[in-house]
Structure 1
C-alpha cells in the first residue's frame, strides 16, 4: 500500500513539473513565450530563463531549411524538439524578443536571414561575415581589442551554395580579416560579459580559422558566468573552463580562441525587407 502511494506521489510530482520547451507543442510554446514576456521585463533575464528551459534538448545537426518557401530540401523553418548550437541561440533570442508565437516565428526569420528575406542564398551561413554583420542591431562584436590577434578568411558563397545546396548564385568571393581572443585572454574577458551575450568559438580547420560553435552567457546564483549551449548529446550549462578543458582534451581539437558578441542595451527589431517576387523558372 505504501509503495503504491509513493509511486502515485512521484508520478503526480513529475506531472506537475513544468515542461521544457523541447517537450512543448507550438501552442504551449506560444503561451510560454507570452507568459515570460509578461513576467520578466528584463531582456537579459528573459534570455537566460528561456535558454534554461531548453536544458536537455537533444542535439542534432542539419535541422532547418526553407521548406516550403524553397525546395532544395524538405527541412522546416523552425524546430522545438532538437537544436544545434546556432539553432538554439537563434530560437532563444527570437523567443526573448517576442510576446507571441507569431512574433517569435517572424523574429526568428529576421535573425536567420539577411534583412529577413527567406531564401537559402540570403540565410546567414557564415558567422563572421553574415550572421554577425546582419544582426548588428542585436549584438556588437567585442573582440577587436588592443593587441588582439586576427585571422584572414576567403568566403566563396557561390561555391558553398552549389556544393551544399545545389543552388546556383552569382556571388563574388569576399575577403575579410577577423579579430579574436586567444583562449587564455578569453578566459579573463569572459568575466566581463553580461547575461545574454554570445560566445563564438574559433577553431582551426584545415589550416583556416573560423567560428565553429556558439553559445550564450548566463549567471549562476552567485553571479558567476556560465556557458549555456547546444552540444552533443544535449543542451547544457557549464563553466567556460569546463568547456575549454573538454575541447582541448580531444585530439586535433584546433581550439584557437573566442569571439565575444555583446547584447546591445537598446534593441528594436528592424523591419524585414520585402520578399522578392520569384522570377520565371525559379532558382
Structure 2
C-alpha cells in the first residue's frame, strides 16, 4: 500500500486498489507519470558561505546534487572554516542516508560527477559494511564527546608510525576514524576496549611500549606496532582482520583508506564529522557536549532533547483529540502491549474517514501533518503506533516522525509509503511475521511503485524491488488466528505487482470473535469501525501481518 498527498489533485496508489474491494481507502486514480532519475550533473558548484545553514535534502536527486557541491567545497583550500564544518556534517549525514537506501542508487549515483565517483562509491560501501556489523541499540552509550586533537597533529603521528613500522598513514587514520572519530569518543567499548585506537588493555600492554592507552600518539604508535607484528607488509587484510575480527570491518577500513590515499585533504572533512549512534529510534547525533555516566534509554533521551511539536500541522480539533488520547496513553503506560494497543485504537472508533490528509509530493515540499479528526486506513495505524510510544505532545510528534519516515527525515521521498516499509526500512516499526503463521504462505517478487499497466503510482519515487509474503485468505483458519495478538497490523494483499497491500487495519481479539479495526471508506461506514475478521477476509486475496516491535 502507498499513501499519497493532499498537495496533489490525485490521492494515492492505495486508492487504485481500494476501489476494487468492498472495504478500503477509496478515491480517484492518480496520473501514471513515469519517474525520472534525472541526468548526471556536470561539475557541481562549490558550497557558498550561505550554505552553512542549508538543510539536508530529503529526496535522492537533490541529496546527490548537494553532496557533490559539499564535496567540492571540502576540496577547495579557499573554503572558509565555517562552511567546511557545515559541508562536512552534511556530507556525513548524506552518506548515512544514501548508505541505507540502495534502492536510491539508480537515482543518486548517476548525478555524481565522474571525478568524485570513486570517493562516493568508497564512502557508500564503507557505510553499508559498518551498518551490517551491528544491530540498532536501545540505549545511548556511557560516553563523553570531546574535541579531537587537531588534524595536522594527528597526521604527524600517522606519518611517524608509517616511518617506524611500514603501516600506511591512511590506514592508521582510517582506523582512528572508525574506532573513535579521531578520539572524539571518550569511553570504554562494550568489550572493554579503550583509548582513541580502541585497544584492550592487555593488548596495549604488549604493544604500547609503556605508553598511555589514552594518549593519541602512544595509541597510534601501538597500532602501527600491532599491525606490523601481524604481517601488514605481507597481507594487509589479514593484519586488519586481527585488529577487528570482521571482514566487513576490513572492507570499511580499506574504503576510507582509499579515499584518504586519493586525496589527503579528505582528512579535514572526516575530522569534522560528528558521532552518530545507530539506535532503535534511528540515527541519533550526539552533541559535542554529550556526557553520560551510564547508558541512557534512547526514547528517554530523545524526549528530553527534542522539541518538535511546533513543526507539526495540528488543528485545534486535532489537538483536542490528541490530548485525550495522550491521557489514555498515560493511563495505560504500565499495561501489556495488547491492552495498550486496544485502548489507544479504541479512541478512534467512530472517527470520520478522511483520505488525502498528508501534505507533500514530487513537487510540493513535505509537511509534518497530524490530522486526528479524520483518518484513513494508514494514518489511523500511524497515530496509534505513535501514541503507543508517547505520554506527551512532544513525544507523540517525535514518535510520529520515526513511525512515518525513514531515517527520521521528514520528506516525501523518505515517507514510508508502503505498508511493508514498516519492517523493511529504518527505524523498524514492526516485524513481518506472515511466514511464521502457516506453511501455506506465498512469496511474490514485486516492484513496488511500478504499475502493472505501465508507469508509476507515485511520481518522483524510485521503483523498489521487494519480495512480499502473504497468507491466502482461504488458509486463515483458527490455528492462524490463535497466533495473532491484539495490536498486530494486518494488510490486505495486493495482486498488483506495484503494491504490497491495498488496505490496513489493527487486529483485535474481541469478546465475540476476531476483529479488524480499520478506517472504512464504504458508504455505509465512512468511519473507523470494527469489522469481523472472517467476513473481511472473504473480500481480499490474503493478508500480510506485521507485529509491532513495541
Taking a change above 3 Å as real, the CA distance of residues 90 and 41 of structure 1, as seen in their structure-2 partners, is: same
Question: In 2 relative to 1, CA 115–186 (structure 1 residues): closer, same or farther, beyond 3 Å?
Answer: farther
Which residue of 220, 227, 230 maps to 2:516?
227
For residues 192 and 241 of structure 1, the distance between their equivalents in structure 2, rounded to whole angstroms, comes to 15
Q: Secondary structure at the match of 1:258?
A: strand
Aligned match for 1:51, one of 338, 345, 348: 345
Give the whole-Å Cα distance in 2 for the aligned partners of 1:31 and 1:104: 13
Relative contact order higher in (CA < 8 Å, ≥ 6 apart): 1
- 5 Å matches for 1:196-235? 196-205=487-496, 210-221=500-511, 224-232=513-521, 233-235=526-528
Q: Secondary structure at the match of 1:259?
A: strand
Structure in which a larger fraction of residues adopt strand? 1
1:191 matched residue in structure 2: 482
The alignment of Structure 1 onto Structure 2 pairs a total of residues equal to 224
The CA distance in 2 between the partners of 1:140 and 1:55, in whole Å, is 25
Q: 5+ residue gaps in structure 2?
A: 1-314
Aligned equivalents of 2:401, 2:370: Cα separation in 1: 9
2:405 is aligned to 113
1:49 Cα offset (Å): 0.9
Q: Which residue of 2 aligns with 1:41?
A: 334
Q: CA deviation at 1:65?
A: 1.9
Quote the RMSD (CA, aligned, Å).
3.0
User: 1:85-124 residue pairs with structure 2 within 5 A?
Assistant: 85-124=377-416
Distance 1:75 1:179 in 2: 32
> Relative to total residues, which structure has the larger helix share, 1 or 2?
2
Helix, strand or coil at the partner of 2:401: helix
**Is contact 1:151–1:209 with CA below 8 Å preserved after alignment?**
no
CA distance in 2, matches of 1:135, 1:215: 21
Asked if 1:180 is matched to 2:465, the reply is: no
Relative distance call for 1:136 and 1:214 in structure 2 (3 A) is farther
Q: Specify the structure having the higher radius of gyration (Cα).
A: 2
Q: Could you state the TM-score of these two structures normalised by the residue count of structure 2?
A: 0.37
User: What TM-score, normalized by structure 1, do the two folds share?
Assistant: 0.69
Distance 1:201 1:136, change over 3 A: farther
For the residues of structure 1 that align with 2:416 and 2:350, how far apart are their CA atoms? 26
Equivalent residue runs for 1:1-283 within 5 Å: 25-27=318-320, 29-42=322-335, 43-66=337-360, 72=364, 77-128=369-420, 130-134=421-425, 137-145=428-436, 146-155=439-448, 167=460, 171=462, 173-188=463-478, 189-205=480-496, 210-221=500-511, 224-232=513-521, 233-245=526-538, 247=539, 255-264=540-549, 267=550
Structure 1 unpaired stretches of 5+: 1-21, 248-254, 268-283
Deviates more, 1:116-125 or 1:209-218: 209-218
Which residue number corresponds to residue 9 of structure 1? none
Aligned with 1:204: secondary structure?
Answer: coil
Cα deviation, residue 163, structure 1? 6.6
What's the secondary structure of 2:348's corresponding residue? coil
Which of 140-149 and 111-120 deviates more?
140-149
Indicate the SS of the match to 1:127. coil
**1:57–1:187 distance in 2 versus 1, CA, 3 Å:** farther
Alignment match, 2:43: none
